[in-house]
Amino acid sequence: MTAGQDPAITRLRAHEMAAGLREGRFTALALLEAHLELIRDENRVLHAWSSVDEDGARQAAVAADRQLSKEGGRAIQGPAALPPLLGIPVALKDLVVTRGQPSTAGSRILKGFLSPYDAHIAERLREAGAVVVGKTNMDEFAMGSSTEHSAWGPTANPWALDRVPGGSSGGSAAAVAAFHVPLAIGTDTGGSIRQPAALTGTVGMKPTYGRVSRYGIIAFASSLDQVGPFGRDVRDAAMLLGVVAGRDEHDSTSAPMQVPDYAAELPADDDEAAASVKGLRLGLPREYFVPGMEPGVEARIREAVGALEAAGAEIVELSLPHSEYGLATYYIIAPAEASANLARYDGIRYGQSVRGEDVLGNYLATRGSGFGAEVKRRVMLGTYALSAGYYDAYYLKAQKVRTLLKRDFDLAFKQVDALIAPTSPTVAFPLGARLADPVAMYLSDVCTLPVNMAGLPGISVPCGLSEGLPVGLQFIGRAWDESRLFGLGRAYEAITASAEWRSLEPTDLPALSDPSAPAPAERLAAARA
């Protein structure tokens, strides 16, 4: 098969692609070419990708085909199984380094930087047979909720091209939603996987802090950052997390915990999946229905809660009383850690280097021209919060409040098996709408960032549309309880399997290949004019 013969294969879920490859229905190379063709035709208008490694991806696909033809027909599971992602195209957020390839973290300061090594998760993906297609657009250093803070211009939402896909992992979310890849990696420091998943109608999980190695992940805020999967269904996201999770001796914060076979644990049968919620206690935190939440979003969440209750879950209304301090403490801790992590971009060690009069001049010129406005804002906030005389008042205080936030969750999990909440208070917002108001942008993550502060896992799954745009339902779990969250997500999929919205593709997909359609940067410029 050659390029373009079968665009329908891009519509399959990753686990269906894996089965198709094993059954010899198509080759890994054909699967890759079908995806590359969409990317070539549509990336100008979607702008989900910051770099595509066509040659590297083809080599991986050819190698996968060799292995498939040699050992084809073997079962997906079992001791003699082929690697789980053999031949499956995967995207990496542009902060996952891979040898000899660009990783810019959405920043001008990393323009031209080629990594001398592979991130741990890139190695794990290669061992699992994945075909890494390229890197996806993101907010600079993962600071943002819209992907508009990328130095390379924004990404569009395939559901409405004049709207953001969320962020900071907006490129990964948009690429999965637009069928450019079935799977993508993101990172989530305060919501950057779950919020874009919600806004693009995809599944995204932030695992427990320590579940996935950050070796080779360009750091934002080290006590909060976690790597996680995007997929078009829960099983796919579970499959991807299973591949990348686990202890890595290069990252001392990665936990030596057993990693379950998340995907294999999920019931294949819808009835069984739906029945799995019977008797579960799900906590509904009052504080997550925040002021300013869109009525359409609240309605979808309440309907989802009702559907889970009807399927036999017990819904327990409860309070996480310190939630209101989540945003304020996050915006002390995350910038403080970012200001320390970003000190390494000095014009000597990485990427861009601009000459000044002397060493300090080089540093100021490199950073002054290399960092965008949001990154500078965070470095200033963080440096201030950590400075002598203010450390106790801000950073130390924030750490204490962080303990209280965590305690809220600990108490809740004495009563319930998981929490259920909105992922984002609104649907995808128009390009430019929150750029002039940082606090409005920060509020995008009000329902997700307490989860990072407590180090817990959270998943966002699609739960219908409001005004034609996707709404995300969030499940939050105990530490290391990702299996429960995948199970709940899968159950919710089963319960709503026949809902009409499940069969809808993103509304604006046809416009992605329209040669007269503007690029997202042009749309943003028009919105701001």
Catalytic residues: 93, 168, 192
The amino acid that residue 99 corresponds to is R
- One-letter identity of residue 467: E
Pair of tokens at residue 299: 């309605």
199-238 positions binding ligand GLN, by CB under 6 A: 220
Of 98, 104, 137, 189, the residue at the interface with ligand GLN (CB under 6 A) is: 189
The residues, any chain, with a CB within 8 Å of residue 375's CB and separated by 6 or more, are 107, 140, 141, 143, 149, 338, 342
Closer to ligand GLN at the Cβ: 220 or 345? Answer: 220
Which lies closer to ligand GLN via its Cβ, residue 335 or residue 347? Answer: 335
Instruction: Tell me the closest approach of the beta carbon of residue 20 to ligand GLN, in angstroms.
Output: 34
Among 27, 136, 137, 145, binds ligand GLN (CB under 6 A): 145
Summarize the chain as % helix, strand, coil (round to 5): 45, 15, 40
Within residues 498-527, the interface with ligand GLN by CB under 6 A covers none
The helix or strand, by DSSP H or E, that contains position 414, with its residue range, turns out to be: helix 397-415
Output 144 or 204, the one with its CB closest to ligand GLN. Answer: 144
C-alpha 24: how far from chain center: 31
Under rule CB under 6 A, how many of the chain's residues touch ligand GLN? 13
For ligand GLN, the binding residue among 89, 144, 351, 506 (CB under 6 A) is 144
Shortest distance, position 143 Cβ to ligand GLN, whole Å: 5
Rounded to whole angstroms, the Cα distance separating 518 from 431 reads 13
Angstrom distance (rounded) from CA 296 to CA 469: 10
- Subset of 432-451 contacting ligand GLN (CB under 6 A): 445
- Residue in 84, 182, 190, 201 binding ligand GLN, rule: CB under 6 A: 190
* Contact (Cβ atoms closer than 8 angstroms) between residue 341 and residue 107: no
Which is nearest to 424 in space by CA: 434, 410, 412? 434
| Binds ligand GLN by CB under 6 A, chosen from 188, 233, 408, 493 | 188
Type and span of the H or E element at 330? helix 326-341
Closest approach of Cβ 171 to ligand GLN, in Å? 13
SS3 69: helix
> Cβ of residue 331: shortest distance to ligand GLN, in angstroms?
8
Query: Of the two residues 10 and 146, which places its CB atom closer to ligand GLN in the complex?
Result: 146
Q: Which is nearer to ligand GLN, 27 or 172 (CB)?
A: 172
Determine if the peptide bond prior to 369 is cis (ω within 30°). Answer: no
416 binds ligand GLN (CB under 6 A): no
Rounded to whole angstroms, how far apart are CA atoms 304 and 88?
A: 32
Which token pair is 162? 């004049």
Q: Among 24-32, 138-146, 464-472, 482-490, which window interacts with ligand GLN (CB under 6 A)? A: 138-146
Contacts of 252 (CB under 8 A, 6+ apart): none
Residue 504: DSSP 8-state: P
| Residue 189 or 276 having the CB closest to ligand GLN | 189
Helix (DSSP H) and strand (DSSP E) numbers for the chain = 18, 11
Residue 310 CB partners (closer than 8 Å, separation 6+):
none
The least CB distance from residue 228 to ligand GLN, in Å, is 10
| Residues 287-316: x where in contact with ligand GLN by CB under 6 A, - otherwise, as a string | ------------------------------
Toward ligand GLN, which CB reaches closer, 445 or 493?
Answer: 445
Q: What DSSP assignment string belongs to 264-306?
A: HHS-SSHHHHHHTTTT-EEEEEGGGS-TT--HHHHHHHHHHHH
Closer CB to ligand GLN, 443 or 473, in the complex: 443
Tell me which residue of 46, 34, 50 sits closest to 88, measured CA to CA. Answer: 34
**Shortest spacing between CB 168 and ligand GLN, in angstroms:** 4
Which of 174, 334, 433, 443 contacts ligand GLN by CB under 6 A? 334
Asked if 375 is part of the footprint of ligand GLN (rule: CB under 6 A), the reply reads: no
Q: Does 164 bind ligand GLN (CB under 6 A)?
A: no
CB of 232 to ligand GLN, least distance (A): 21
Which positions touch ligand GLN (CB under 6 A)? 142-145, 168, 188-192, 220, 334, 445
